[in-house]
Every structure is written in C-alpha cells, then in structure tokens.
Amino acid sequence: LYSEAHPKTYLYDYLLMTNRSVIFFGFRGFLDFRSMFLDEYHDRLFIGAKDTIYSIQLDRGHMDRDTKEIYWPPLSGQREECALKGKDPFTECANYVRVLHPYNRTHLLACGTGAFEPVCGFVNVGHRGEHMFAMEPAGVRNGRGKCPHDPNRPFASTLVGGELYSGLTADFLGRDPVIFRSLGPRSAMRTELDQRLLQDPKFVAAHLIPDTDDKDNNKVYFFFTEKALESEGKSRAVYSRIGRVCANDAGGQRVLVNKWSTFIKTRLICSVPGPEGIDTDFDDLVDVFLLRTKDEKNPEIYGIFSTISNVFQGYAVCMYRMADIREAFNGAYAHKEGPDYQWTTYEGKVPYPRPGFVSAENHFRPYNSTKDYPDDVLHFARSHPLMFQSVYPANQHPVLIKTNLQYKMTHIVVDRVDAEDGQYDVMFIGTGTSLSPGQAPNPITSLEISVKRQQLYVGSRVGVAQVKLHQCETYGNACAECCLARDPYCAWDGTSCTRYQPTGKRRFRRQDIWNGNPAHQCLDQSLNADSFDSVEERVVYGTEDNSTFLECVPKSPQATVRWFIQRAVDGMKDEVRNMSTTC
C-alpha cells in the first residue's frame, strides 16, 4: 500500500503489529477475494469471494465480529461440466462472485461466474439498522452479459436506475467483447460485434456521470484499453480509451435494432513530453478513480497508466477534467476514406440529430427517441464511433511518474484533504507486491475509501484489510518531526502529532504541508533557531570483519541519513558510500 501525499509504504504485518489495521480472512480457510462494495448507508462492507458472499458490520471494531455469510456454490453438476470443458477444477470451476451493486435500499445485485455459467441473484440486506443477509431464491437468474465466464478476465460494470451496464466478453471463449445494458423493463442493449467499436478491449471501469440536471441526459462512461484501428503499422498499438453511451438510448427502429446508437469513444492520453517532440506514452490504463466534487456533473478523474514496452518500464498517474472530455465528444468525428488514406476529421455534413447524443425534452424535435432517428443518422453512428480529438490530462502532464519500480501499481483511490495552507489530493495506490503476515506476497486487487470513517479497505486474494487513512503517531513525539512529515492529515497540537481537524479551535496546531519548515512552525516549542542547524549524531560500535546494521530510513521524507566510519588509528571520519537502500 503506497500513499502519495509524501510517499510512504506500509506492509500488512507492520500495520498489524502496531494495531493500525485489522484483516478479514474469511471463514473457509482461504478467502479468494474477488469483489467489494462499501455500503455507507447500511454501515457494512460486502465481499464477494469463491462460492461465498460476506457481510461485515463496520461499527464492531473487529471485522470478524457479527459477520454473516451466504454460501453460493455452482449448481449441481456445473463443476464437473466445467472441468470437462478443459477448465481447471480448482481455480476456475467455482462461483467467483465478481459483481456487487446496490439495487435498492434493501437489496444487492450479486453476480458470479458460476463455473463458467454466469449467474445473478438478489441479496436481501434489510433496512438500515438491521443485519439481514439472505439470498432471494426467486431472484436467481442467468448472468450472461452481466458477469464474465472467466474469473480472471477484466470487466467493468455499474448499476443505474435498476439497469446494469457492463463491459465484458459475453461468451465462453472470450471472443465477444460487448457493452451491455440488462435488467430493468427495457429491452437489452448491446454493441455490435464490429472492430470499429471494440477490438480486443480490456475494460477497467464504468461510471454514471450526469451531463445536466435532466436525468434524460445521463451518460454512462466506460474506461478501457483496446487495439487502435487508427494506429500505424501492421501490429495494432494499444490505446487507452474513454467511451460513453446515453442511458436513454433505445436503439434504432430498422437499423441498430437493440444496438447502441449513441456509443462514441476517444483516446485518453497520459504522456511525458520528450526531446524533439517524441513523447513517452503510458498507453495501458490500469485503474480509474472518480473524485467526486460538490458538482456531481464534474468529478475529477484519476487514472493509473503503465508503459507498453520491453525497454522502458514505468507508471504514471494522470488527472482529467470533464470539461476536456465533453469538449472531445462535442468535437469532430474521426474519418478514414479508405485503406490507403490517413485518419482525418470528418469534413462532410453531420446528420441531424447529432450522433452520440439522445434527444431530451424539446431538444431534438420532432424526435422523442433514438427509435425515431432517420436511418442516415444511425448509419453514420455505426461507421463513426471514434472522435478525432483526444483527451489530455489537466495541465498537460501526469501528477505522478514512477519508473524502474520493483512492484506494480494496480489500484488507486484519492482523498481531498483540507489542510492549514489549502487543499491536497492524497493518492493511495495499491501495489502488486503487498505482503500478508506469514504468507507469500499477494497483489492488492481492490481499494475502497471511506472518507466518512477515515478508513481504507484493501482487498487481496487472501483477505481484506481495514487501514486508517492517517498514521500521525508514526511521526514521533517532536514538533519538528511532525512538521517535516508534511502529511495533510496530521498536525502538531502542542503535545503530540495528531489528526488535523479543519474545524478545530486548538491554539497550538502546527502544520506546513507546502514548505515543511519546522524552523517557522516549532520555534515556540522549547526550541530555538540554532537547534535546527545542529545534526543529531548517533554512535554505533562495530567489530572489524563483522557486519553492523546501519539504519538508513529516516522518519521524515525531508530528512537524510549519512553514516561515517571513524577508525581508531587516526580518528578521521570517512563517509560510508554506496549503501544499499535497505541497509
């Protein structure tokens, strides 16, 4: 687990030993975690695992206390049939619960792989204050198009107004990439099997983002990577994409029947400018987080991207604004006249109503639905799903770049924190090499943040950990150490480093995130200016030809540690250089 307020890495065993985390391992020996839904309304955490769903009450102090489970294995004979089809009976032929969404105030929608026979059901979680947790037998149904067959294949989904929007491969062999709308009273809707729409996509996230206060204008956005038709060369390059559909899309009457008529997409760019105009592109989208703001129509979008290269390995985090995304979707369509032509902007007349939009009340008269659209509009929508203008990050560059790492960056959540000198976005980034006590490394597979509880919920295959967002007590017992940490969650209150409260009225709060200058913040704390010019010295005695441990990780990222060796012969001090970072 990696925090980028100022970077710090915490391991599960360290957090456990210091009582800063609790971990839930399940009741059946091995959790095999697959999905997680943090329900702030019911004060519960729901976990989808192998053949099991768990409900954890968050006010009990310990994640095992009063936890309930639903055992939900495949139907009789499905495991055997799955194995006969060539799948692994131990790691694939089970019901891995991969979809957990709130359906209404009393029920969850849950979907699992069902031993390569996807299945969905409704879970009764009761009203607020109750701890009911039971599967509704009458609600169990086929899950095809709602959940992937394969427990390991990437997909994304979101539930809007009782309808499930899913980006996945909908068949057993994984050859039918599709964006689906299912459930609800309307006919199911999907993308056509057309490489212009989707080509070997890897879906990452799906979110409802309103365009206006009118719900008829709601858009569902999908974040994914795919092989790009517009890329040059015989082997298609992989690009990151943002695509969207209108929630009110009803398809066409004669063309695109029960198919999306409003699907459009464009490239999502995260790159670093290089010499001679050659950029370093981070083209592989890994994870997405929407930082909600007071204006629900304009969240800020954070994404982790990695390079696709055997030469250069790196990760970047880019942040995007909805104004730039809408500008791209309102712009020109990409067009290619033929196989020997270049991609350009479409210069012809765009039919009316504009493809990629659905008619709201009094907006596209006389068309009240996409079913009323002329055929030429739908033909244009089918052949021009790609927008010409790409979406670039805010300020035209990443907010974080990491290269030559010993771990992967897999998941991100962001918290906007009020500090004494302004607001800071604190990024919590899950890595691919997390550790669990006494076990082999297990990658972080999910992150959820509760700003209300000031907790982070970290999922890996073996368990789910609850971690405090702030670790102020780790910064020592001195004003200078607390100030040098430059942690927006923490401040010196006169006696200790504690949680910073923006509305608090304590007199002695000391915090300086921007500069981290203890000389300005801590002079009245029994210190003087000369004390900051001094250097703390620690003497460690060693025996010749034996190893000696030299601590090299300071408590503050603003401090440095230097070691010198003083030999008894001449008393001179020589600096110890080329020390390993692990010492």
Homologous superfamily, domain 472-522: ligand-binding face of the semaphorins, domain 2 (3.30.1680.10)
Name the DSSP letter for residue 259.
B
Tokens of 18: 């210091």
Note the pTM of the prediction, 2 decimals.
0.87
Domains of the chain, residue spans: 31-181, 191-405, 472-522
The sign one gets for the Cα dihedral 521, 526, 527, 528 is positive
CB-based contacts of 534: which residues, under 8 Å, 6+ apart? none
Nearest to 32 by CA among 447, 449, 457, 445: 445
> What does the alpha-carbon distance between residue 292 and residue 415 come to, in Å, rounded to a whole number?
10
Q: Which residue has the tokens 């699907």?
A: 263
> For each of the chain's 583 residues, which pLDDT tens digit applies?
555 555 555 554 555 555 567 888 888 777 889 999 999 999 999 999 999 999 999 876 667 678 999 999 999 999 999 999 999 999 999 999 999 999 999 999 999 999 999 999 999 999 998 889 999 999 999 999 999 999 999 999 999 999 999 999 999 999 999 999 999 899 999 999 999 999 999 999 999 999 988 888 899 999 999 999 998 766 789 999 999 999 999 999 999 999 999 999 999 999 998 777 788 899 999 999 999 999 999 999 999 999 987 777 899 999 999 999 999 999 999 999 988 889 999 999 999 999 998 866 546 667 888 999 999 999 999 999 999 999 999 999 999 999 988 889 999 999 999 998 889 999 999 987 655 555 566 788 899 999 999 999 999 888 899 999 998 988 888 888 888 889 999 999 888 999 998 875 555 678 888 887 887 878 766 544 454 444 566 777 666 666 666 766 665 555 667 777 777 666 677 777 665 444 4
Strand ranges across the sheet with 300-306: 284-291, 300-306, 314-321, 400-403
> Amino acid identity of 530?
D
> What does the alpha-carbon distance between residue 360 and residue 246 come to, in Å, rounded to a whole number?
11
Query: Which element (helix H / strand E) includes 327?
Result: helix 322-329
> What does the alpha-carbon distance between residue 406 and residue 293 come to, in Å, rounded to a whole number?
34
Q: Is the fold of 191-405 the same as that of 472-522?
A: no
**Architecture of the domain defined by 191-405:** 7 Propeller (2.130)
Query: Which element (helix H / strand E) includes 378?
Result: helix 375-383
Tokens of 68: 């309930």
Neighbours of 395 (CB within 10 A): 10
Asked if 99 and 49 touch (Cβ cutoff 8 Å), the reply is no
> Amino acid identity of 538?
R
